[in-house]
Amino acid sequence: MNRQWKRAALLLGLALLVITVWACAKAAYTGRNQLLLISEGQETQLGLQAAQDVMKKEKESNDQIQAERVRRIGRRIAVAANKPDYKWEFHLIEKDTVNAFCLPGGKVFVYTGILELATTNDELAAIMGHEIAHALERHGGERMSMALMAQMGGQAASIALGAGSANPAVAQVFSQAYGIGTQVGFLLPHSRTQESEADEVGMILAAKAGYEPAGALTLWQKMDAYSAKKGQTPPAFLSTHPASKDRIKDIQAKMGAVRAKYFQQQLLN
């Protein structure tokens, strides 16, 4: 074998090894197998950097009551999430757009526009639980891994092995995964599996935090009605979070088990 072939074979072997090792990752709560080429530490580091960018770009709301409401619900969900390495912060952003997200590392952003739909604390807990679930389940890392595999093939392995977040390609797919880049042309949408998982884990977190998980049902029903309104461009959030009848059915199907296992238990505490 000439040198080039040897190198190619070595890289391929390395890529397969890395994929095998990382593919063994299991999602928290559900135990689903995940392909993760990015370490949780790398994701957190990118999340903390991105949080600073969001804070520079966006304006914190002056509505002290609503901001405190977001913080209180967030802190209770954070206790339920039991993630000691996260540096939790809960920000209410003054912007009339339906949006909320949680970056890896625990920085949570809720936009005032979504409060018009999440009017009850149970509904706000549902949306915050859902977004926090995406971070805990490392869905961004999963989407980044898929994008890196598609864009870079075997090279993705060297990133996984530590070239890390300083690599511009990694930073770029991170922005795409979270929709926070300045010149981001498209978002990497959540898969249906991830959305359904975030709904389920979000309900578990909300219920463990003492909120009625049925808040998820009324929330997504309102989202559905909102996106069905004529003459309205649906916000980016709803294109990555379709409020479909299937989703509502899926939530309904999972609700009973979550209520019985987590919420009713809470009532005794």
Pick between residue 127 and residue 160 the one whose CB is nearest to Zn ion.
Answer: 127
The two beta strands, 33-34 and 89-93, are unpaired
Pick between residue 110 and residue 198 the one whose CB is nearest to Zn ion.
Answer: 198
Q: Give the shortest CB-140-to-Zn ion separation in angstroms.
A: 11
Please give the residues from 65 up to 84 whose contact with Zn ion meets the rule CB under 5 A. none
Binding mask 225-244 for Zn ion (x = CB under 5 A): ----------------x---
Please give the residues from 23 up to 62 whose contact with Zn ion meets the rule CB under 5 A. none
Pick between residue 69 and residue 241 the one whose CB is nearest to Zn ion.
Answer: 241
131 among known catalytic residues: yes
Cβ atoms of residues 37 and 148 within 8 Å:
yes
Asked if 223 touches Zn ion (CB under 5 A), the answer is no
Question: Whole-angstrom distance between the N-terminal and C-terminal Cα of the chain?
Answer: 68
Q: Give the shortest CB-2-to-Zn ion separation in angstroms.
A: 49
Catalytic residue among 123, 131, 195, 212: 131
How many angstroms separate the CA atoms of 205 and 93, rounded? 23
Sheet holding 89-93, edge to edge: 89-93, 107-111, 100-103
Pick between residue 36 and residue 198 the one whose CB is nearest to Zn ion.
Answer: 198
Nearest Cα residue to 222 out of 130, 110, 129, 126: 126
Pick between residue 107 and residue 241 the one whose CB is nearest to Zn ion.
Answer: 241
Q: Give the shortest CB-195-to-Zn ion separation in angstroms.
A: 5
Pick between residue 122 and residue 197 the one whose CB is nearest to Zn ion.
Answer: 197
Q: At what angle do helices 215-228 and 192-208 cross, to 10 degrees?
A: 140
Q: Give the shortest CB-131-to-Zn ion separation in angstroms.
A: 7
Q: Give the shortest CB-158-to-Zn ion separation in angstroms.
A: 30
Select from 15-23, 96-104, 145-153, 198-206 the region that touches Zn ion (CB under 5 A). 198-206
Please give the residues from 150 up to 179 whose contact with Zn ion meets the rule CB under 5 A. none
Cβ atoms of residues 43 and 85 within 8 Å:
no
How many angstroms separate the CA atoms of 247 and 196, rounded? 7
How many C-beta neighbours within 10 Å does residue 254 have? 17
Cβ atoms of residues 55 and 91 within 8 Å:
yes
Asked if 19 touches Zn ion (CB under 5 A), the answer is no
Q: At what angle do helices 215-228 and 245-258 cross, to 10 degrees?
A: 170
Nearest Cα residue to 199 out of 243, 269, 133, 266: 133
Phi/psi for 216 (5° steps) reads -65, -35
Size of the site for Zn ion (CB under 5 A): 2
Cβ atoms of residues 93 and 63 within 8 Å:
no
Q: Give the shortest CB-101-to-Zn ion separation in angstroms.
A: 9
Asked if 198 touches Zn ion (CB under 5 A), the answer is yes
> Which residues have a catalytic role annotated?
131
Residues that bind Zn ion (CB under 5 A): 198, 241
